[in-house]
Structure 1
Amino acid sequence: MTETATEWTGDSAQGNIRRRYWLSALAKGVVTGAIGGIGAFTYNMSELMVAPIDPLLVLGITALAGVYAHLLADGLHESIRVGLIGFFTGGITMVGVWVAPLWILSYTNGARDLLLPQLTGTAVTAAIIVYSSVFLGAYLSALTIDAYAST
């Protein structure tokens, strides 16, 4: 007796499952990364905060984003994908937010050309030192604790 292919066993259904899996990992990574990047930017530019909040509490948002990058994933493979996507998205978000006032405010082209290298260098340095250490540290800590707890 031959078995007919149904929607559940066809190649197109497998492609849809893979597409949804990647879109899910991409969405989780982008959201956690953007939240972590904004948190790290706010920590670095704490003098711009209006409310008298301790900057370490704001840095905790970046750490929570790293933890959630692991906790939101369904398995280890997705966790690694979400963590990597979140890490790079957060770094790009942080640098982008840091440099964005050059185009949002009315700077002249000459002033923008002079300020862009300095702001970009400062933003990349802060992203490497603050964001990467906090986000990756929290992500890898959550990964280690989860691996230890599951054995």
Structure 2
Amino acid sequence: MRSETVGAGHLSRRVRGVGEVVSLGATLGLVGGLASFMNAKKDLVAYGVGPEWLVALIAVMGILAHVLAADLVESIRLALVGLAVGTVVHLVVWVSPLWILPYPVGARDLLLPRMLGQAVTKGLPEFLITFFAGYCAAVVVLSYFDPK
């Protein structure tokens, strides 16, 4: 049995691992959050892409959070980062027209709470449930076939 010593080598491996987890989790969350936004705003979806494809994409991001991880601890970290980044991306993209389009400051102040409320109630619960369901399904199925 090999013992792990705490030192500069261990710290650099841990920092490098955190950076990889954050970047991969952020990528999964970015794709999932954008798919969630597009699913909520169906009039912006390209012709021929049904809502089931966007929901499937969100679930695949949850599945990849477990499949791409080295172990269960890293898998949980990837899922948490993906959920957090996806939530932020969904909310920011939803309210971004307030800063992209030439709205007066007073109009932004009036519209921001309403738009955030719509973002939270329309698309966010579906994103969270679908991402987490895909993640949990991957954990259960892969743990059944490869128990350690």
TM value normalised by structure 2: 0.91
* Shift in Å, 1:10: 7.6
Of 62, 80, 100 in structure 2, the residue corresponding to residue 104 of structure 1 is 100
Percent of aligned pairs sharing the same letter: 34
* CA distance in 1 between partners of 2:47 and 2:124 (Å): 27
* Shift in Å, 1:46: 1.1
* Shift in Å, 1:113: 1.2
Cα deviation, 1:26-77, whole Å, max 9, x if unaligned, reads 1111010111000111101011224232111122111111111111111001
Aligned counterpart, 2:111: 115
1:45 has 2:29 as partner: no
Residue-pair matches, total: 143
Cα deviation, 1:76-112, whole Å, max 9, x if unaligned, reads 0100000001011101110110011100111111211
Larger Rg: 1
Runs of 4+ in structure 1 over 4 Å off = none
Structure 2 contact 59–134 (Cα < 8 Å) conserved: yes
Aligned counterpart, 1:129: 125
Aligned counterpart, 2:54: 58
TM value normalised by structure 1: 0.89
What residue identity is the alignment partner of 2:76? I
1:76 has 2:55 as partner: no
Gaps of 5+ in 2: none
What residue identity is the alignment partner of 2:117? G
Task: State the SS of the aligned residue for 1:59.
Answer: helix
